[in-house]
Structure 1
Amino acid sequence: MNIALIVFLYIAAVAILLHPWTRVRLKTRIKKHAALDPYRAISLACDVESCSEMAGMAGRRFLVDEAPDIPLQQCSADACGCRYVHHADRRGSVDRRMLSRHAEEEKPDRRGLRGRRKSDWSLLAVSG
């Protein structure tokens, strides 16, 4: 029984000591993903017993760089149960923009050839 108590205290001490490091690693991982894909979205999901500040932000999407750190400084909950929910980039599908008719038919762009003024036509007649 004495050994079980020592093992339990050792595990509890390690968990307490490593707890701040896990948050730092999570933030570092989120920042690394932000550098790779800056348009990924994150929303905040909260437990039923979350504080009122976080309940107002629940479901709202943020870019990875703009998401608030959790727990919030104003958090009134004893143990914060809020978490990040990652969303895929919505632009990942096929680009649906249509090309202009000239680009589709490979016709040349005629806009820059000559102007409509009489002087523009006279310069072409002299040089041609």
Structure 2
Amino acid sequence: MGLLLLLFVVIAAVAAAYLWHRQKPVVTAEAPPPSNRFHAVAIHAHANACPEVRTLSSSKFLAKEAPRLPLENCTAPYCQCRYDHYDDRRTEEDRRQASDMVRHQGEQKRVRKNRRKAHA
């Protein structure tokens, strides 16, 4: 009887250890508070990343709008994805032309003062 009870306890312990090890760990990674208004993050997909995170890995997000890791539908046994950080979400240089940024430096031709008050 004692041997049977011991065997049952050992089997139960092995089953519990297996289920505990197999359980998907809950690792929550949040984007850090932004250091500037345009602080951005991109998801760096790990080699065992789920298909959903792979579709998002080519996009940059404002840090406040980034999805939390692991994603809700993550199918990886252990999510190892992480955030890559950027100062700005934009990747290209400033597209404005120099002529767009030059202010008029000629003679002021507006004669009337408070010209907007007349239409109020």
Q: Which bin holds the TM-score, normalised by the shorter protein? A: 0.5 to 0.7
What is the letter of the counterpart of residue 99 of structure 1?
V
- Aligned positions of 1:1-128 closer than 5 A: 23=28, 27=30, 30-31=32-33, 33=34, 36-89=35-88, 98-102=101-105, 107-110=106-109, 112-113=110-111
How many angstroms does 1:99 deviate by?
2.1
Figure out how many residues of one structure are paired with residues of the other and give that number.
Answer: 83
* Cα distance in structure 2, aligned partners of 1:48 and 1:113: 68
**Length-normalised TM-score, structure 1:** 0.52
* AA at the equivalent of 1:57: L
Letter of the structure 2 residue corresponding to residue 46 of structure 1: A
- For the 8 Å contact 1:38–1:65, the answer to whether it is kept is no
TM (norm. structure 2) is 0.55
Instruction: Choose between structure 1 and 2 for higher RCO, CA contacts under 8 A separated by at least 6 residues.
Output: 2
Contact kept in structure 2, 1:41 and 1:63, CA below 8 Å:
yes
CA-CA distance at 1:98 after TM superposition: 2.9
C-alpha contact 2:36 2:87 (8 A) present in aligned 1: no
RMSD: 3.2
* 1:15-37 C-alpha deviation (Å, 9 max, x unpaired): xxxx97x85xx63x713x2xx41
**Distance in structure 1 (CA, Å) of the matches to 2:85 and 2:54:** 18
Q: Per-residue CA shift, 1:95-126, capped at 9, x if unaligned?
A: 96632241xxxx4421x216xxxxxxxxxxxx
When you count helix as a share of all residues, which structure comes out higher? 1
Query: Unmatched 5+ residue regions in structure 1?
Result: 1-18, 115-128
Could you tell me which runs of 5 or more consecutive residues in structure 2 were left unpaired when the two chains were aligned.
Answer: 1-24, 113-120
